[in-house]
Each structure stands twice: as structure tokens, then as C-alpha cells.
Amino acid sequence: MRANSFDHIALWVDDRDSLSAFLCEVCDMHEIDRKDAFTLLGGDARRGKLTLFDAEGPRDQGVLQRIGVRVPDPDEAVRRALARGSAAHANGGLVVEAPAGVSLELVAAPDGTADLDHVVLGVPDPERTAAALRGLGFHGRPNGVELGSRYIELRRSELEPTEHPLLNHLAVLVDSLDETLAEAAQQALEVDRVVDAPNTVAAFVVGPDGIEVEYVEHKAGFALV
């Protein structure tokens, strides 16, 4: 499987509006797209993003432990978070607790534009999970995998089965979805569904530890900003 970049992380959340407002006001993101069921946020539609899907709460942590986001000024972002009543702490990084049970690690954006930086997942066997994700298009790195300038850190953690996970899926950008589907068929991968949207076409593949990976192709008329 071939992919160009780690495009976005999608969450099931029980308080979409509060988390969206937090990401905009604290992390300098903006609403790139908003539909009845989800909100897409980021600093730029062609960079790393977060997608928030409405879901009944409370949500369980599942594999998702933390999301790293690039912000123009981490210290200012912490000040804004504290002013909103959020907790902030140093736990291997500068971390703030956002609405809907989401922990965000704040990383300085090299060019001042809000962006996705990384995601921390807790899995029973990090080496096995990393190998499976490499087979899905990610590249190896110490303690996890990467794609482009963004990465996934894998930490050893026992998983409690849940029907209400916080993580919806991880998404990667590809040149051709048709080629991706052909590669998936050759590897006998389970394709859950294909979605044809106004700006993109995408396929969802079931990965390790119940982690779903979305392969996204931008259409020629991609118009999100």
C-alpha cells in the first residue's frame, strides 16, 4: 500500500461544538467544512486536520491516548486553554485537556500554521501493530510509524473492549484510490466501505487493533481551504 501523507485523525465525540470551539480559539484552527454529522478543522485544508463526528457519550479512550497538534505559540495556547477552564500539565510534553475527553499535546508550528503533528496510541503489542501499519502504507520509525512529517507513537497498553471508542479512524492521502483498492485486493485486506464525497473519494480498510485507516484521494476540483 502506498500513501503520501498522514492527512487527518477522526474522532467520535459527544460534544462536537465545544471541542470545535476549543480547537479554533486555543489552537488557531478554523472550521474547514461543517456538515450535519461532522466538522472538519485545521489550519489549512491541505495539511493535517481533525474530523469530529457526533456520537453518544460518554466515549471510551480505547487506543487513543493523545493527539499532538502544531500551534503558532504553545505558551499562548496554554494561556487560552487555562482561561477556558481546561487543565494543563507537562506529561512528556505540553499537554492540555480539551472538551470531549481529548488530550492535546501542543507543539510549536515551524511556519506558524496550525497542523496535525502526531497521535499517541496505546496497544498491547506495539511491534506487531507497527508492522501491520507499515503494510498499510506507513513508514517505520522508533516507537511507531510515520508518513511525511507526521507520525504515530505506539505505547504498550492493555485494551479494554469498547463499543464507544473515541477514535473513529486515521486517514492518509493517496494519488489514486483505484490503485489503492487494487493493492488492497492483492493483499486480501478488508475494505469496509468506499465513500464518494464532493471533494474527495475514499476507502476504509480495517487495520490492527480495530484501527480503521481511510485512504483519501482529492478530486480535481478540490475546493476546501
Helix-, strand-, coil-residue percentages of the chain, each rounded to 5: 20, 45, 35
Domains of the chain, earliest start first: 5-170 (3.10.180.10)
Chain position carrying cell 483519501:
216
Task: Tell me the H-state helices in the chain.
Answer: 16-27, 74-83, 126-135, 177-186
Q: What contacts 63, CB < 8 A, 6 or more positions away?
A: 121, 122, 123, 157, 159, 165, 167, 209, 210, 211
pLDDT band at 221 (very low <50, low <70, confident <90, very high): confident
Q: How many residues does the chain have?
A: 225
Instruction: Give the model confidence (pLDDT) of 80-134 as tens digits.
Output: 999 999 988 887 779 999 999 999 999 999 999 999 999 999 999 999 999 999 9
Average pLDDT, the chain: 95
